[in-house]
Amino acid sequence: MNRRKTAIFKAGLDTLYYTGAHRALAPLTCGAGIIFTLHNVVPGAPPAFAPNRILTITPEFLKAVVVRIRAAGLDLVSLDEAHARLQGEGSDRRFACLTFDDGYRDNLEHAYPVLKRHDVPMAIYVATCMPDGTAEMWWLALEFAIAAAGSIEVPTAEGSETFSCETLEQKYDTYETVYWRLRAMDEEGKRATVRNIAARAGIDMAAAVRDLSMTWEEIAWLAGDPLVTIGAHTVTHSALAKLSDAQVEYEMAESRRLIGEHTGVRPCHFAYPYGDAGSAGPREFALADRLGFATAVTTRPGVLYPEHGHHLTALPRVSLNGDYQSLRYLDLFLTGAPFALFNRFRKVDAA
Ligand SMILES: [Zn+2]
């Protein structure tokens, strides 16, 4: 979501909050549970140019979230427990899951200690290219290149186009334009383009990836804690909808196999990279089911209703991101009201 859309969405959330409409809607919209999507947990304020700051919250906010969720009467549970409850087994109390995508080292350094102290289960969906050191974190490579350079050159069919990155405003504009241009490209084209941009800006992405990712040893250590679930998140972190049937099956099955081999625990939960409707759809949902994953999560926004017990590989999530580090937004999200309005009160979106 770009900065303008975020501002509009926040204004809508504020209206909902200050009119109290969310409280009136809550009995209809709060559902059975909620799965939160998180990425990075890092202390301190982000630098001025941080277009990926939406992916980061602070450990202090994470702790406040845990306390607030419990105060609201929800149980913080593992994905296995969420799966059981969606199938009508066990408690019918409302629940929340905290899930972290990709496999960042800050999850171990800054999220795990907070959650461990409060006895909160966590799930980390690992893209195996992260611990393997082969991840192409193109969204970060683009950020680093724009942060470092006064301009960047983006290859085009006709040659190349130059974007200014002198001022902070220009850096944000350039990021926004190039990011969405890349999102529209196929995986290979996108990666080749960013490799080119990063190389020209002198960015060593291989070193950055080693720095940002957990190692296999760290992941295996975490997997040994019963509070931690390691889920699969593909091998190459690709938008699956853009790949062939065989490639999609490989991404799902091989990431599960590799994680099982390195940690001794074969994952039974999966997250689709990016997770929006353009990156994962009915073909992916059916395949995750056929391959035997107990649950698979998207980033389509929404809370969980009992109906999701019949769509366990197309579960919605709610992003707990850096743009919404206020308990006011958390309170709203827990009512389910913003997503019910956004989804026009359709409970399941698995198409
Ligand atoms: Zn991811």
Q: In angstroms, what is the span from residue 274 Cα to ligand 1's centroid?
A: 6
How close is the Cα of 297 to the center of ligand 1, in Å?
11
- Beta-carbon count within 10 A of 12 CB: 13
Residues 220, 105 share a domain: yes
Co-location of 43 and 147 in the same domain: no
Read off the DSSP letter of residue 46. Answer: P
264 shares a domain with 126 = yes
Same domain, 163 and 113: no
Same domain, 223 and 303: yes
Are 175 and 237 part of one and the same domain?
Answer: no
Examine the domain organization and report whether 53 and 170 are in the same domain.
no
Whether residue 348 is contained in a domain is answered as: no
Same domain assignment for residues 150 and 20: no
Kindly state the greatest CA–CA separation across the chain: 61
Cβ(266)–Cβ(260) under 8 Å? yes
- Cα(123) to ligand 1 centroid in Å equals 13
The amino acid sitting at 234 is T
Residue 146: domain span: 138-207
Q: Are strands 95-102 and 75-76 parallel, antiparallel or unpaired?
A: parallel
Cα of 271 vs centre of ligand 1, distance in Å, is 8
What does the pLDDT read at residue 130?
A: 96
Domain co-membership, 64 together with 116: yes
In a domain, 70, yes or no: yes
Series of mean pLDDT values for 10-residue runs along the chain (351 residues) = 72 82 83 96 92 92 97 97 95 96 98 98 98 92 93 86 94 94 87 91 90 97 98 96 96 98 97 95 98 97 94 96 88 91 82 83
Query: Where a domain ends, among 207, 231, 251?
Result: 207
Say how far apart CA 279 and CA 285 lie, in whole Å: 11
Q: How far is the CA of 251 from the centre of ligand 1 (A)?
A: 13
Q: Residue 86 is part of a domain; what is its CATH number?
A: 3.20.20.370
Q: What angle do CA 4, 7, 11 make, to 5 degrees?
A: 145
Alpha-carbon distances of 133 from 2, 129, 137, 171, rounded to whole Å: 29, 6, 11, 28
Per-residue confidence (pLDDT) for residue 58, from 0 to 100: 95
Q: What's the 103 CA to ligand 1 centre distance in angstroms?
A: 8
Distance 91 CA to ligand 1 centre (A): 31
Check whether residue 225 and residue 176 sit in a common domain.
no
Cα 267 to ligand 1 centre (Å)? 16
307 and 322 in a single domain? The answer is yes
pLDDT attached to residue 2: 64
Where does a domain end: 153, 179, 207? Answer: 207
CA of 337 to the centre of ligand 1 (A): 26
Residue partners of 199: CB distance under 8 A and separation at least 6:
none
DSSP track, 280-348:
--HHHHHHHHHTT-SEEEEEEE--B-GGGGG-TTSEEEEE--GGG-SHHHHHHHHHTHHHHHHTTT---
Last residue of a domain, one of 179, 207, 235: 207
Q: How far is the CA of 213 from the centre of ligand 1 (A)?
A: 12
Residue 114's pLDDT is what? 98
Q: How far is the CA of 232 from the centre of ligand 1 (A)?
A: 10
CA distance 204 to 260: 30
Which residue do the tokens 């997997």 mark? 223
| Distance (Å) from CA 237 to ligand 1 centroid | 6
Residue 55 and residue 157 in one domain: no
